[in-house]
Amino acid sequence: MDPVRNPFAPGAGSQPPELAGRDEIISAAEIAVQRVLIGRHDKSQMLLGLRGTGKTVLLNTIERLAESHNHVTSFIEAPEGRSLADLLYPKIHQVLRKLSMIESAKAKAHTAMRALRSFASVFKVSIGDVSLSVDPEEGVADSGSLENDLCELFVRVGEAAQAAALAWTLLIDEVQYLSQRELAALIVAIHRVNQKQLPVMFFGAGLPQIAALAGEAKSYAERLFDFPGVGPLDHEAAAAAIRQPIVDEGESISDKALEAIVEQTERFPYFLQEWGYQAWNAADSSPIDTEDVQSASSAALKRLDEGFFRVRFDRLTPKEREYVIAMASVGPRGPYRSSDVAEKLGESIQTLGPRRAKIIHKGMIYSQAHGDIDFTVPMFADYLRRTGKVID
C-alpha cells in the first residue's frame, strides 16, 4: 500500500493517529487545568511508566489541552547532567514575557522578572542569549536554598498569571533525572502555590520509581500528586490503536493479523506504532493479512534492535552491560531478584550495589520492590537473547 499514506507514527513522543486507552488520564488533566483557573484546587499529576508506553505523548496532549484553556505552558525534558535551575530559567523568562504583554499583569510580571533575576544570580544560571534588563529584588529568591527560592519564584509567576486571568502549566518529562534536592524543591514550590490558590499546575512523567522518589523527597507528595500508571493498553484499546487508523485511510486489516500484532507487541503503544507502520508498508493491498504481519515483525524487530534497544545498551559501560546480561540470564521475564543476579555474577549484593545504582540512574533498570529489579525497556531481555548476548 502507498507508504506516503501510512498513518502510523513510530517515534519518540510522536503523536499516534489514534490515542487509545488513555481517556481517564486525559479527562482528569482537563478537569484540573480548568479548576485551577477558577481558584479551585486540584492535584498535579506524575505519569509513571516504562519506556515506550506513551508518557511523552500524553504530556504533549495535556500541554495542548492546557493551552486551549488559557494556560501559558512550559515543556521541559530533564536530561542527565543539567540543573533544574538552568532548565527553568529560559522557560520562566518566556512565560513572564508573554504575561508582561497583558496590561493587567505588567506590574506583577515585572516583579516576577526581578525575582527571576535574583534566582539566576544566586544559582549561577547560564543565561546565554536570555538576559534580563531588570534589577534583582533583594531578599526574594536569593537565599541560595533551592527549596525556598524556587518556592518564592513560583509564587511570583503564579501572581503574574493570576493578574492576567491566565494560568501557568509546567510540564517536565524524564523527572527521574532530577536530583532528590531538585525534586524536593519542585514539590515544595507546587505545594506553596496550591496553598495560595494560585493558577499554577504541574504535570510530570518518568519511570516507575518516581512515586517512591517523590515520597522520599517530601512525605506529603502522595497528597499533592496523582500518580497514574501508564502501562500497556488493554486488548480493546490496543486493537483500536491499529484498526482505526487503517479504517480512517479507507483500508482494512484481517482479524487474525490484528490479533497477531496485539500479541507480538504485548500491547505497548510504541511497539504498536512500529508494527502498524511496518505492516502497512509490507502489504501490497488491503486487507493487511497475517503474511504481511510476519514480514512486518522481521522489519520491526530489526529496526528496534538497531535503534530503540541498541541505543540504550550502548550507553552502558562494559561492567554495566555484564550486569543487565546477567539479569536476562536469570529468566525470560522480570522482576528479577538482586540476589539471583549477584549469584549469576559470582559477587555479593553489597559489592554490586554501586553498579546497580548507576544503571538505575541511567534509566535502564528500576526497583519495583525491595530486592527486586526489572528493565525499564519492555522486551529488553528478548533483545539480549535475540542478538546473542544471552545464551540460555
For 156-166, write each residue's pLDDT tens digit. 999 999 999 99
The yes-or-no verdict on residue 90 having pLDDT over 80 is: yes
Mean of all residue pLDDT scores within the chain: 92
The residue assigned the cell 534492535 is: 305
The yes-or-no verdict on residue 133 having pLDDT over 70 is: no
The yes-or-no verdict on residue 15 having pLDDT over 90 is: no
Topology given in CATH for the domain delimited by 315-386: Arc Repressor Mutant, subunit A (1.10.10)
What pLDDT sits at residue 375? 96
Question: Residue 204 has which C-alpha cell?
Answer: 510530570
What pLDDT sits at residue 41? 83
Domain 23-226 indexed as CATH 3.40.50.300: yes
Band (209; pLDDT cuts 50, 70, 90): confident
pLDDT, average across residues 160-177: 96
244: left (phi over 0), alpha (psi -120 to 50) or beta: alpha
The residue assigned the cell 533483545 is: 383
pLDDT digit string, tens, across residues 177-195: 999 999 999 999 999 999 9
* CATH code of the domain occupying 3-12+233-312: 1.10.8
Question: Residue 259 has which C-alpha cell?
Answer: 490479533
The yes-or-no verdict on residue 104 having pLDDT over 90 is: yes
CA-wise closest residue to 185 among 198, 199, 174, 175: 175
pLDDT digit string, tens, across residues 315-331: 999 999 999 999 999 98
For the chain, the domains span: 3-12+233-312, 23-226, 315-386
Query: What CA–CA distance (Å, rounded) separates 368 from 339?
Result: 14
What pLDDT sits at residue 128? 60
For the full predicted model, state whether its pTM sits above 0.85: yes
Peptide bond into 354 cis (omega under 30): no
The yes-or-no verdict on residue 46 having pLDDT over 80 is: yes
The yes-or-no verdict on residue 125 having pLDDT over 90 is: no
What pLDDT sits at residue 32? 95
pLDDT, average across residues 255-266: 97
Band (127; pLDDT cuts 50, 70, 90): low
What pLDDT sits at residue 12? 66
Contacts of 319 (CB under 8 A, 6+ apart): 355
